[in-house]
Chains A and B, each alone.
Chain A
Amino acid sequence: MSDEPDIKITDNTALPSYEEACGRLETIIRRLDSGEAGLRETLELCQEGRHLVEVCAVELDAVGRGLEELRLDELVARLEARPQAE
């Protein structure tokens, strides 16, 4: 375990981007696949991994709900309307 300095249990309170989440997930699974992680580390990595899977799933869901086509002026109008609504 001491030979694995690049893998650390990270603080998962900050929301990572999709690519960060994917990269970290890949690292976690590589570490788990190596079979070198102890019980506590395994459970912590699994918990963090599940959180990252959630993050990725949310991102994938966001681009899977159906194509929405907007003209630029429509988007601008929406953006301008938002501060008034708030």
Chain B
Amino acid sequence: MTDGAPLRPEGIPGLELTGPHPVGRYAGALRDKLRMFARVQVFGEVFGFKVGGARVWFELRDADGALPCGMWRREWEASGIGVLPDGCQVVAAGGCDFYPGSRSASPGFSFAVTELRRAGEGDLLAQLERLRRTLAAEGLFEPQKRLPRPALPRTIGVVTGEHGKARGDVLAGLRRRGWAGRVVWAFAPVQDRHAAPRIARALQDLAACPEVEVVVVARGGGSLADLFAFCDETLCRTVAMLRVPVVASVGHHTDRTLIDDVAAMSCSTPTHAAEAAVPVDCAAARDELHARAGRLQTHGRRAIVTRARHLAALSRAPADHVARHRARLHQQLRELRASARRGLTEENAAIGRRALVLSRKAAATGVSVQREQVRARAFAATVHSAAEGGLARRRTDLQRLLSTLDAHDPQRTLERGYARVEDPAGDSVTSAEEARRLDAMVLRLHDGAVHVRHLR
């Protein structure tokens, strides 16, 4: 925002310089002055090519210096030159320009390019590509990648600049892994002409220590020229032949040095390289190990306890079976008793009923017996009286018969002086004739017998 012409303050006392001038006016004058510089052609390598909404930007570099360059986007598109990779050598035509900026925008110097053409691959990149192809053809990118990388190295070698930011980044990466083993630092210069042999020597020394299991080579970002030490042929051949795996992190993720190709693994930052050197997250690994130990213990215990329970269940089975049978028998016994009790009760009731019936019948029978007894007694009385009458009659008859019988009794006759003659055989002799024939006879009188002999 402009508020019209600003108030001019007093200048610095004692100075003879003109002014003070408003800075915007001075910046505008500077732009005008710079634009008056002669328009020229320059050449160099392109770095950091960016395409904006209206303009494209890049730096033009060589070993001695660099220029920030800008070009209208429509002119760049009209040239058909396309996006330029880093290191691409170009020839640019244009002149100096200055954007004076404003209260809300920064000023900036640029070389305003109006024409642009490629001048073939940059020397550095061309060299690099040739070397890359040679090393690849020799198979030197492979040996490192075949080396086994330990999951949990105890000792890690690190090659880096002693005072660079990469050193702290490596430690940060190791801490992120929860790794607290032994770090062996091999400090070396990482960007001048002497860097490559020193780095190679450091790597060889580290690899010579049997404790070192993996080596990290780390360097922060920089231009390709800065990183060129890591494209050194001898260094790359040394790395390819090392016995320990090398994890490289050189420059930004957009840079690709030859050591990145030769190493076992290439990472975008030193922190990532440290993490790659310790693939295991130690804290997580400890937790997991703890969990696994617990699982093993559980499995071991369960294997025994489960079987013990099964055995216990099996051993209980016969007892359970017997108990079930016992319970069933008890139940049956109870039912039997209950049934017997019920039967007895019913039987008692039936007997009671029968007894009642019988007693009733007996009572009825008693009446009839009484009646019969009365009848019997009456009959007996009748019989008795009848018998009494008959008896008297019979007694009279007998008396009469006895008298009759007495009248006919031979004994009575004998008692009256008569005798009975019997032969020896006891038969009665009733005639004289018969008596004459007999030699002996028996004269039976009323008081005894007299044997007589016939005299001749």
Contact = CB atoms under 8 A, between A and B. Distances in A.
A18 B299 contact: no
Contact of B151 (A22, A28, A29, A68): A22
Given A70-B184, A71-B184, A63 B296 contact: no
Contacts of A59: 152, 154
B183 A43 contact: no
A42 B184 contact: no
Interface residues of A, number: 35
A69 B299 CA distance: 42
Contacts of A46: 296-297, 299-300, 303
B157 interface: yes
Contact of B206 (A33, A68, A69, A72): A72
A60 B184 contact: no
Contacts of B153: 63
A59 B181 CA distance: 10
A79 interface: yes
Nearest to B302: A42
Interface in B196-247: 202, 205-206, 209, 211
Contacts of B150: 17-19
A63 B154 contact: yes
A18 B285 CA distance: 11
B311 to A, nearest CB: 11
A33 B184 CA distance: 42
A86 to B, nearest CB: 15
A56 B280 CA distance: 12
B295 A29 contact: yes
B151 A19 contact: yes
B289 interface: yes
B174 interface: yes
Contacts of B88: none
A81 interface: no
A83 to B, nearest CB: 13
Given A18-B151, A62-B154, A76-B209, A29 B292 contact: yes
A66 B178 CA distance: 10
A72 B205 contact: yes
Contacts of B292: 25, 29, 49, 53
16 contacts: A18-B280, A29-B295, A43-B303, A46-B300, A49-B296, A50-B296, A56-B289, A60-B286, A67-B174, A67-B180, A68-B181, A68-B182, A69-B183, A70-B182, A71-B184, A76-B205
Interface of A: 17-19, 22, 25, 28-29, 32-33, 39, 42-43, 45-46, 49-50, 53, 56-57, 59-60, 62-72, 75-76, 79
Interface of B: 150-154, 157, 171, 174-175, 178-187, 202, 205-206, 209, 211, 278, 280, 282, 285-286, 289, 292-293, 295-297, 299-300, 303-304, 307
